[in-house]
Amino acid sequence: DIQMTQSPSSLSASVGDRVTITCQASQDINNYLNWYQLKPGKAPKLLIYDASNLETGVPSRFSGSGSGTDFTFTISSLQPEDIATYYCQQYDNLPPWTFGQGTKVEIK
Amino acid sequence: QVQLVESGGGLVKPGGSLRLSCAASGFTFSDYYMSWIRQAPGKGLEWVSYISSSNTTIYYADSVKGRFTISRDNAKNSLYLQMNSLRVEDTAVYYCAKGNYLADYWGQGTLVTVSS
């Protein structure tokens, strides 16, 4: 199975800060990587697909980049409503599709 | 708008069974793969199972293979997960999601607790 190593596991930042999360795959996954946002009691939300494509309706402060084994997710200007846990997920070749361990984002 | 509403979760003893349902609306259900994804308390996400639009392709995670059965009724716009021989480690919030490798819509989840 492909392992996804996501870091940091948590972070605290101020409103307006730039926030960066990384995800590393245990093998080349091309650009087959998605990013999701999870908030307690709410339906999880797809933010980025195929490493860098913004899902329709998602604010442009969210972005993704990378290819191969190393990927980055960025919130350009952190907003209070962005408090959540973020997960990367790979879907290269055959299942199982695997997720990173998650990054909990809090406001300082 | 797309809506996915799970039901059927609850408390069950180890070795017991439970059937989860997911009611879909806002899209042509019969055109899409559907999935179940779970999150154990304090843990990460696990892709449990998916099923193709016409039931011809089905995937199960090794952790549930032989115990869980995914199915769908396109006439009722519904997805199901029959869970047998439940274990304590199956305790999780179970999410219904649209898609098979890209979950572009999710439900709010239903909690399954396996405990004696």
- List B residues 47-76 in contact with A (Cβ-Cβ < 8 A): 47, 50, 59, 61-62
Question: Which letter, b or e, does each residue of B42-81 get, where b requires 16 or more Cβ atoms within 10 Å of its Cβ?
Answer: eeebbbbbbbebeeeeebbbeebeeebbbebeeeebbbbb
From B109, which residue of chain A is nearest by alpha-carbon distance?
A: A43
The predicted structure's pLDDT at residue A44: 97
Percent of chain B with pLDDT over 70: 100
The predicted structure's pLDDT at residue A94: 86
Nearest to B81 by CA among B7, B10, B12: B7
pLDDT tens string for chain A (108 positions)? 999 999 999 999 999 999 999 999 999 999 999 999 999 989 999 999 999 999 999 999 999 999 999 999 999 999 999 999 999 999 998 889 999 999 999 999
From the list A34, A43, A95, which residue is nearest B108 (CB)? Answer: A43
Q: Read off the pLDDT band of B28 (50, 70, 90).
A: very high
Q: Cα(A21)–Cα(A40) distance, rounded to whole angstroms?
A: 20
B34-67 residue pLDDT tens: 999 999 999 999 999 999 999 999 999 999 999 9
Calculate mean pLDDT across residues B75-85: 98
* Contacts A45 to B, Cβ<8 Å: 106
Residue B30 tokens, joined: 């019969």
Does the pLDDT of residue B32 top 90, yes or no? yes
Which residue of A2, A7, A46, A92 to mutate against B (max B Cβ within 10 Å)? A46
A30 touches chain B (CB under 8 A): no
Q: Cα(A49)–Cα(A79) distance, rounded to whole angstroms?
A: 21
- Are B108 and A98 in contact (CB < 8 Å)? no
The predicted structure's pLDDT at residue A93: 80
- List A residues 32-91 in contact with B (Cβ-Cβ < 8 A): 32, 34, 36, 38, 41-46, 49, 55, 87, 89, 91
- Are B101 and A97 in contact (CB < 8 Å)? yes
